[in-house]
Structure 1
Amino acid sequence: MRSGYGLRLEQTQKLIMTPELRQAITILQLSALELSTFVDQQMLENPLLEVVEEDAASPDSEIDEEKDKEKEKEAEAEAEAEAEAEISAEHNEPENTWDMDWEEYFQRQEERITREYEPDSSQMRRLEPFVATAPSLQEYLLEQLHVQKNPISLNHIEYIIGNLDDNGYLELSLEEIAREQGISLERAEQALAVVQALDPAGVGARSLEECLRLQLPLIPDAPAEMPEFLGHLEDLAAGRLQRIATQMKISTSEVQLLGDWVRKLDPKPGRSFSGADEVRYIVPDVVVEEIEGEFIILVNDITVPRLGINQAYRTALSQNKENETRKFVEQKLNSAAWLIRSIEQRRTTIYKVANALVQRQEGFLRRGIRYLHPLTLKDIADEIGVHESTVSRATANKYVQTPRGIFEFKFFFASGIKNEPGVTTEGIKQALKSLIAGEDSQAPYSDQKLSELLKAKEMEISRRTVAKYRDELGIPSTALRKRY
């Protein structure tokens, strides 16, 4: 066989991941708070981006907005089709060229009537909402400490407070504290006693048993056996109630009553305080409201500023000659335009996905978790006409607020049972929880019995699956649920 060189013309289709397309994909999978941070960063890097202020006090602002929507309706439809095709990988990536008439864009912006809001005697200045940061455990303890008079040096006590973990437990031993502070062991014990006397009760403990003992004075009517009972926490956790009863010379039912008293105590007294890097709230990306029997979907993009192009750069564009300044401005204009389009495409895609989810899971929204239907990403992708990966990115790390609470988007993609196409795992767990809540505490259901009861409700699962779901719900076994 002869080998040689030759030229051949061949036509193929492939998707080229340009930086702009990567940015569009990244923006799609950002949550509302992450997108707000991303936009702030882009505004620092691109001087042509600016925030378009909307004057809520102006009576003509709504009219201006309607005019803008009419003028940009065709452009947005075209941008939506273009970006959707790229993200779903259904068409070739076009060349990185732009046919936008920037002179016309700036002219449209000039037509927008913008008024600066200046409150007068008949208007009240609007105050920006703010959230006060909850104090950390250390801040709360130091605040109490600084209003007290203690014979112990504050430096030693503050050192102990600084070594408490997020749950309020002391991570160092007294020997280590004494060595690090250069004090006697007795002095370290006195400093620790000051910390343990602060609120919340149980803080500064070195073990779970010590933490619960520090809280006993808060329960004046606690049984007299409680101090001794706290020495059997390991047996209590393992369900060895008979062993505790034998050692304490009491009945098994009394052991269970003492266990009920223990559950009234807080094993982690510091967990109710905020941490340094703790996120204490969730901003939903979509809000679903029921109005007159119909579900209305709102994309929550209030945290993302409305972006526009700074008109101050018109002079650079109006220059006829090709120079470095004009090239730089055109590059930044293209980047800004793509960012604005990508954000709008993100909003449109999230709305379509949320709308499809609401239609598919309307039974859950109206009647509860038992009516949550099995659903996959492919089902939604086929319904709205996008690639499955697009739906995955649009729902990643995002939350939806519904009349039944706030859920992750992935909650609505419930997995089903192989032989039961209309039953979800969440529905089975809810039924399992209801059965156990209504059982006789002196004769609780076994896993096999629970399997049979679920089968009677047309939820055919095995005993092992019942045990698996029960563990996921944090429900103890039959022996631990039994009351004597």
Structure 2
Amino acid sequence: MRMGFNLQLEQSQKLIMTPQLQQAIQILQFNSLELEKYINEQLEKNPVLEANVEKERQDISDKKTEEDKIKEINWKEYIEDFNNYEYTRGSYYNEENEFNYENIVSRESTLQEYLLFQYHLTLLDRKYFVIGEYIINSLDDRGYLMATVEEIADYFKEEKHIVESILQIIQTFDPPGVGARTLEECLLLQLRSLEIKDEKIYKLIADYLPEIASNKYPYIAKKLGVSIGQIQQYCDFIKTLEPKPGRRFTPNQNRYITPDIVVKKIGNEYTILTNDYNGPRLTIREDYKRMMTSSDENSDVVKFLNEQFNSAAWLIKSIEQRKQTIYKVAEVIIKKQMAFFEKGKKYLRPMTLKEIADEIEVHESTVSRATNGKYIETPLGIFELKYFFSSGVEGNEGIGISSESIKSFIQDIINEEDPKKPLSDDKVVNKLKIKGINISRRTVAKYRDEMGILASSKRKRY
């Protein structure tokens, strides 16, 4: 076999993702909060960048005001007074029995803290306190006990009935239902806390929760020997109870939305405004510009600054390009969805990413990045830009109707139904046909499930 080296030229086309292009794509994909965080990171990394001067001046003014306030404090007196506060009184009062407003904590208590506070007010023997604390710390976010009484008794080498008694004390605490081991026990504890006397409702929860979930009211009524209407009333009351008593102590996960685009209707026209709150406006520092011009062209300082200037300029350009792309996308959306803005959700038409991409002459992926996680504030409310892209069907007049519009029609039909004779999916299909919307029963069921609307058998009232 003959071996050797061979030199061959080959020409091919390749798309190379430069770091600058990758950065531009990343910036376009950021939502407003991510962009603000990224800008702040770049301000720390790149010394030639600075935030908007007017904003800095305001910050300096605010800082000076704060410094003036600090100078006015007599720290010696403050610390001596602080040391007088008694921990044994919960840190709410000082020695002179004056209420200590500074020690009111603004954050909400956790479920465990709230229960331990109640537990420490009980008159239990001190040797049992550690068991109660263990039980409280074994509750999950719902307020349910995750360990068994047997496991806790074995851990502390204590009698099971002692552990059970301590658990029963904790189960009388607020919020009602806390310390339960099952959903049934949780609901029964709440009935006892409300001092409900009717034994039938206790039996209903203890024995028929699966049937309640399935709305099998005739079956339950026959078993308990009461009317279907009475069972309906019982079930309505049960549904007002809290299945997860610890839920209100779960940290608030609210997501604050900063719209990228604001749409205002002025007269008969819609005006589009870009929201410039997405982080500080970036500029290049004047002192570094002067340093650049005054330094030797071949010095290391100039080479370093040249790199930083290029990086800063590209960042500023990418942020501006992001803003312009989102603006163009929003502009076309408003033009194509004008019926929605004028008449409401029922008039949202089907629209694809490709339609917008063709209009503004970019790739579909660019439109996808420009709409994902970006929000628009309109006279009808705040919507994610992706909300306006949905599939749909063609109406009788040849005009497309989006899935969101169809859901709105379904909601209206169900809101107007007789609760004693709820409409089946087939009947909803027929009512939609009258409105010029032709979809199958399966599609109605799919949309109904997505909207969280129960089937007709479970919506029936007696």
Counterpart CA distance in 1 for 2:321 and 2:157 is: 63
Q: Which of 97, 117, 122 in structure 1 is aligned with 2:61? A: 117
What's the CA shift for 1:221? 6.8
TM-score by length of 1: 0.76
RMSD: 3.3
Deviations 1:139-170 (Å, cap 9, x if unpaired)? 44445556666546554444333333232222
Contact 1:50 1:309 in 2 (8 A): yes
**1:397 aligned onto 2:373:** yes
**1:269 aligned onto 2:271:** no
Q: Which of 445, 454, 462 in structure 2 is aligned with 1:476? A: 454
Contact 2:296 2:302 in 1 (8 A): no
Shift in alpha-carbon separation, 1:302–1:435, aligned structure 2, 3 A: same
Q: Which of 216, 230, 238 in structure 2 is aligned with 1:254? A: 230
Letter in 2 for 1:469: Y
Letter in 2 for 1:349: T
Deviations 1:74-110 (Å, cap 9, x if unpaired)? xxxxxxxxxxxxxxxxxxxxxxxxxxxxxxxxxxxxx
Shift in alpha-carbon separation, 1:221–1:284, aligned structure 2, 3 A: farther
Gap runs ≥5 in structure 2: 70-105
Contact 1:451 1:462 in 2 (8 A): yes
> What is residue 153 of structure 2 aligned with on the other side?
178
Which structure has more relative contact order (CA 8 Å, sep 6+)? It is 1
Letter in 1 for 2:215: G
**1:297 aligned onto 2:272:** yes
**1:339 aligned onto 2:283:** no
Counterpart CA distance in 2 for 1:226 and 1:214 is: 12
Counterpart CA distance in 1 for 2:170 and 2:22 is: 53
Counterpart CA distance in 2 for 1:339 and 1:474 is: 44
Q: Which of 409, 418, 432 in structure 2 is aligned with 1:454? A: 432
Letter in 2 for 1:473: M
Contact 2:295 2:301 in 1 (8 A): no
Letter in 1 for 2:47: P
Counterpart CA distance in 2 for 1:318 and 1:190 is: 83
Deviations 1:19-63 (Å, cap 9, x if unpaired)? 1110110010111111112222223332332223325999xxxxx
Contact 2:394 2:400 in 1 (8 A): no
Comparing 447-456 with 142-151, greater Cα deviation is found at: 142-151
> What is residue 48 of structure 2 aligned with on the other side?
48
Contact 2:176 2:190 in 1 (8 A): yes
**1:467 aligned onto 2:445:** yes
**1:349 aligned onto 2:293:** no
**1:32 aligned onto 2:32:** yes
Gap runs ≥5 in structure 1: 59-114, 126-131
Counterpart CA distance in 1 for 2:433 and 2:453 is: 20
Letter in 2 for 1:477: A
Shift in alpha-carbon separation, 1:270–1:289, aligned structure 2, 3 A: farther
TM-score by length of 2: 0.79
**1:422 aligned onto 2:400:** yes
Q: Which of 209, 218, 221 in structure 2 is aligned with 1:245? A: 221
Counterpart CA distance in 2 for 1:235 and 1:159 is: 35
What's the CA shift for 1:6? 7.5
Residue 283 of structure 2: SS of its match in structure 1? strand
Contact 1:48 1:333 in 2 (8 A): yes
Residue 61 of structure 2: SS of its match in structure 1? coil
Counterpart CA distance in 2 for 1:259 and 1:197 is: 24
Letter in 2 for 1:409: L
**1:373 aligned onto 2:355:** no
